[in-house]
Amino acid sequence: MLRTVVSAQEATKIKEMLAESRNVVITCHTGPDGDAIGSSLAMYEYLKRKGKQVVVIVPNYFPDYLRWMNDADKIIQYDRRRALSKSYFQQADLVIALDYNGMYRVDEMQLPLSHCRCKKLMIDHHENPENFCTIQLSRPEMSSTCELLYRLLIAMGEEKQISLHCAEDLYAGMCTDTGRFTYNSNDPEIYEIIAGLMRKGIDKDKIVRNIYNQYSEGRYRLLGHILLNKLELYPDLHASIFSVSREELKQFKYMKGDAEGFVNIPLEIKGTKLSISLREDTEKDRIFVSIRSYDDFSAQEVAEKYFNGGGHFHAAGGTLYCTIDEALDTARKALEAYRETLSQ
């Protein structure tokens, strides 16, 4: 029996909102990851079984390693199909915001989202949610939005409506947002949820292979280059930084998603408790920042103070609008600012 995370009152209100809606648009954050796509497709599957007219619209490209999911081919990319996307927003009587806590997280899709006057429902696990939805189900203590969505479905009495495909999507999101259950996953109930999903018939080993064994050759050559030539280690600070430029990405035939998880690898070095990754965007003049930490050091605090970002205590990110060299200087300054804490 899972503890109560979604109250009976919240579950009733959300169930009523979903029942009253006919045309539903499901959205997630820019640069969708496994939790964003997993929760979106799980909700899509659930609402489709309820007879709703439902569509998933994402701000931009999502990685190839997530395209094995059922109905992933039906996802609409806003940056490629703007007119169609806007028409769906205009027709919607409900928009569901999954895995993001503010409209700024959807990038250019913010305009049609903000102009959409229908009811909105947020289901998310990030800190400090903005007040832009009619109902906000925000639980930062959850490992993933997919975990929260599963708990919501149970709280609404909809366990029987969790199909095999829905269960696969939920497991994929939980798995990816915890690094295959290696961080933010010490709650025993996470494994009770996994057991529940397995009883739906999922093959969790196959899901892991579908996600993690589908990378390009270029990904591993890029990783080798980073580890050999770009990794900066600071043993006295138990920290590391690496950067990769647009030119280097092109050299290794980078495809979106190829750098997924790279920021976690330096944490495998004994004694390291902070890793910062800086990656230049291949399309716009900006630097994507990923931060991971261990123990009692907050990646989220570093992201907020130095990289215009945020996230979770041990996993956070941000964006800088500068050169890659300037981004490196900012990262080094961040390490120095936390010298006292990191050197312990």
Is 108 within 8 Å of 79 (Cβ atoms)? yes
Of 15, 49, 11, nearest in space to 165 by CA:
49
Q: Where are the domains of the chain?
A: 8-212, 220-342
Provide mean pLDDT across the span 126-133: 93
Token pair for residue 47? Answer: 């609402």
Tell me if 8-212 shares its fold with 220-342. no
pLDDT of residue 242: 98
Alpha helices of the chain — where are they, by DSSP H? Answer: 8-20, 34-49, 82-91, 110-115, 145-155, 164-177, 188-199, 204-212, 217-225, 246-251, 299-306, 324-337, 339-342
pLDDT of residue 334: 97
Residue 170 has pLDDT above 90, yes or no: yes
pLDDT value of position 19? 97
Each residue's pLDDT tens digit, 189-222: 999 999 999 999 999 999 999 999 988 899 999 9
Domain 220-342 CATH (choose: 3.30.70.360, 3.40.50.1980, 3.40.50.2300, 3.10.310.30): 3.10.310.30
Tell me the pLDDT tens digit for each residue of 45-104: 999 999 999 999 999 999 999 999 999 999 999 999 999 999 999 999 999 999 999 999
Inform me whether the pLDDT recorded for 133 exceeds 90: yes
Whether the predicted pLDDT of 311 surpasses 90:
no
pLDDT attached to residue 172: 98
pLDDT in the model for residue 283? 85
Please say if the pLDDT value at position 325 is more than 90: yes
> Do residues 104 and 30 lie in contact, with contact meaning Cβ atoms separated by under 8 Å?
no
274 backbone φψ class: left, alpha, beta (φ>0; ψ -120 to 50): beta
Question: Which CATH number does 8-212 carry?
Answer: 3.90.1640.10
In the structure, what pLDDT confidence band is assigned to residue 310 with cuts at 50, 70 and 90?
Answer: confident
Residues 233-264: tens digit of each pLDDT: 999 999 999 999 999 999 999 988 899 899 99
- Mean pLDDT computed over every residue of the chain: 95
